[in-house]
């Protein structure tokens, strides 16, 4: 069994011993008295509910209009972003975060890829040591370890669940009904990486382990789509790929520049049989330090969801750690199989890289380097980013074998050599992002290249 000493970042104020967190407990005693998300307290609660468009045949276009059961006038920003950021800032004003992320220094590293570096010294100041398996992607849920049912409801922004119609709605206060389905919630990450950093926790009361399935994947795509903002990305880390909690969750935040991986050229390798219009297309990244796949297309969101979910399930069943980045309002998904924890456990990562204490999860792999020491931030270079991420990447032979497994899992076919097309999306992406209005993001959180 391969193990490494893990020191996970605190993502909830209840992640540490509950006796040390009495300042976060509510005065009204309900259930266990902690007003948590567990079955003892949650069923008696009322929370805001964002009910998203649940049209199974909807096209892959960002949400533009929403029916609101609310007195709030809709601004140019999507209502979901307006709601999320407003609630997130409210929790900041109430002192629920471990530190003020808006004071963290950020810069674009000079070079071809424009990697983004952030100095986030506060993110590793409060940690608790634990042992983590790094050689097993699928592990059973353990109720004795920290999980999101222990989170206080003050950390929850709203429930996020499908609507009964083809229109999205917002309800300011709705009783939790656990008799039908377990609620899915959006909560703050109390150790944020960026502005608006949240957790999406599907079916929180079902206590699902950290493994992707079609339902949770579709929920994450809906969150990206409803946000309707290209600067809002959703990420996922599997066990073995630096997920720190074995309770199903995604992460998401706003960053006002393109991620380097979003600008990387790609080459189409797999597509729907017969090259029919609207088929899901899978490409591979070119000239990027981490080998990865990019999923696009499909006639509906369900088409794209099934392709990426089945690919993730294939990796899970083959015990291959991976990370997922959901980009472009849910229309472009990056899949990164990785082996950094394996390399680390085998002693094949240099001491120089280990000393930085950077665990390359989805955000680092995508090009947002979260650094914990002033020295590393001041000395950050493209060479450092490349050396770190190169240790993440699967070797070429394992990656080629993996592509075959995935093409079989999602019932697609490889594109013949005569049909290869190199697709550099950097120009289109830059034009798309440059045209967006980002007035909902505070100026001191913007990164200007």
Give me the catalytic one of 197, 249, 368, 440.
249
Q: Does residue 210 form part of some domain? A: yes
pLDDT of residue 121: 85
- Any domain includes 391: yes
Signed CA dihedral, 63, 65, 69, 70: sign only: positive
CB count, 10 Å around CB of 120? 22
Q: Which residues span the domain enclosing 396?
A: 7-15+34-433
Helices (DSSP H) in 49-200: which residue ranges?
79-93
Which residues partner with 200 through β-bridges? 186, 250
Q: How many CA atoms are closer than 13 Å to the CA of 308, on its beta-carbon side?
A: 35
**Tokens standing for residue 332:** 């472009």
Q: What is the mean pLDDT of each run of 10 residues along the chain (449 residues)?
A: 48 55 46 78 87 68 41 61 97 95 95 95 56 80 91 95 89 82 94 96 96 97 96 97 94 96 93 64 96 94 94 97 97 97 90 93 97 95 96 96 91 57 42 46 51
pLDDT for position 24: 42
- DSSP-derived pairing of the beta strands 413-414 and 266-271: antiparallel
Question: Within 10 Å of residue 295's Cβ, how many Cβ atoms?
Answer: 24
* Position 23 in a domain: no
Task: Report the pLDDT value the prediction gives residue 79, as an integer from 0 to 100.
Answer: 94
Sole residue written with tokens 């630096």: 242
Whether 134 is covered by a domain: the verdict is: yes
The structural domain count of the chain equals 1
| Catalytic (active site) residue 222 | no
Question: Residue 442's pLDDT is what?
Answer: 62
Dihedral sign (CA 353, 354, 358, 362): positive
Q: Which two tokens stand for residue 189?
A: 């990450």
From 397, 378, 376, 398, select the one nearest 387 (Cα to Cα): 376
The dihedral built from the CA positions of residue 142, 152, 256 and 108, taken in this order, carries a sign that is: negative
User: In which element (H, E) is residue 433 found?
Assistant: helix 426-434
What CATH number has the domain bearing residue 250? 3.30.428.70
Q: How far is CA 219 from the centre of its chain?
A: 12
Residue 90 included in any domain = yes
Cβ pair 160, 44 in contact under 8 A: no
- With respect to residue 319, please indicate whether it lies within any of the assigned structural domains: yes
The pLDDT value given to residue 44 = 74
197 near 102, Cβ under 8 Å?
no
Determine, yes or no, domain membership for 306: yes
Classify 35 in phi/psi space as left (phi over 0), alpha (psi -120 to 50) or beta.
Answer: left
Sheet arrangement for strand 105-108: 105-108, 116-119, 368-371
Residue 26 lies in a domain: no
Q: 280 burial class (0-12, 13-18, 19+ CB within 10 angstroms)?
A: buried
Give the residue from 290, 294, 338 showing the smallest Cα distance to 429: 294
pTM score of the predicted model: 0.86
* Nearest-angstrom CA–CA distance, 393 and 407: 20
């Amino acid at each position: 069994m391969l193990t490494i000493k893990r020191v996970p970042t605190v993502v909830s104020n209840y992640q540490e011993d509950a006796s040390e967190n009495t300042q976060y407990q509510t005065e009204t005693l309900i259930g266990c008295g902690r007003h948590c998300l567990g079955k003892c307290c949650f069923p008696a609660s009322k929370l805001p509910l964002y009910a998203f468009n649940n049209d199974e045949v909807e096209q892959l276009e960002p949400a533009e209009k929403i029916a609101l059961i609310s007195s709030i006038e809709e601004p140019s920003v999507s209502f979901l972003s307006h709601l999320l950021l407003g609630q997130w800032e409210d929790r900041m004003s109430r002192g629920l975060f471990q530190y003020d992320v808006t004071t963290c220094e950020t810069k674009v590293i000079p070079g071809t890829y424009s990697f983004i570096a952030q100095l986030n010294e506060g993110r590793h100041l409060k940690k608790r040591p634990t042992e983590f398996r790094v050689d097993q992607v699928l592990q059973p849920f353990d109720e004795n370890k920290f999980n999101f049912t222990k989170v206080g409801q003050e950390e929850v922004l709203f429930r996020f669940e499908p609507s009964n119609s083809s229109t999205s709605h917002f309800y300011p206060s709705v009783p939790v009904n656990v008799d039908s389905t377990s609620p899915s919630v959006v909560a703050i990450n109390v150790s944020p990486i960026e502005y608006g950093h949240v957790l999406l926790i599907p079916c929180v009361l079902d206590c699902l382990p950290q493994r992707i399935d079609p339902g949770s994947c579709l929920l994450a795509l809906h969150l990206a789509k409803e946000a309707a903002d290209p600067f809002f990305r959703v990420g996922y880390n599997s066990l073995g790929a630096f997920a720190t909690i074995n309770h199903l969750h995604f992460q998401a935040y706003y960053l006002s520049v393109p991620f380097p991986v979003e600008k990387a050229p790609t080459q189409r390798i797999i597509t729907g049989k017969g090259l029919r219009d609207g088929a899901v297309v899978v490409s591979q990244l070119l000239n990027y330090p981490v080998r990865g796949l990019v999923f696009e297309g499909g006639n509906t969101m369900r088409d794209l969801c099934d392709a990426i979910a089945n690919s993730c399930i294939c990796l899970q069943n083959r015990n291959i750690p991976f990370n997922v980045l959901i980009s472009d309002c849910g229309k472009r998904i990056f899949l990164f199989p990785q082996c950094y924890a394996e390399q680390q456990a085998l002693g094949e990562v240099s001491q120089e890289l280990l000393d930085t204490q950077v665990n390359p999860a989805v955000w680092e792999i995508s090009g947002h380097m979260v650094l914990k020491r002033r020295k590393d931030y001041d000395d950050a270079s493209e060479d450092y980013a490349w050396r770190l991420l190169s240790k993440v990447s699967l070797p070429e032979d394992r990656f080629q074998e993996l592509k075959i497994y995935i093409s079989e899992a999602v019932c697609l076919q490889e594109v013949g050599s005569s049909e290869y097309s190199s697709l550099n999306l950097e120009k289109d992406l830059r034009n798309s992002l440059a045209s967006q209005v980002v007035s909902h993001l505070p100026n001191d959180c913007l990164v200007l290249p």
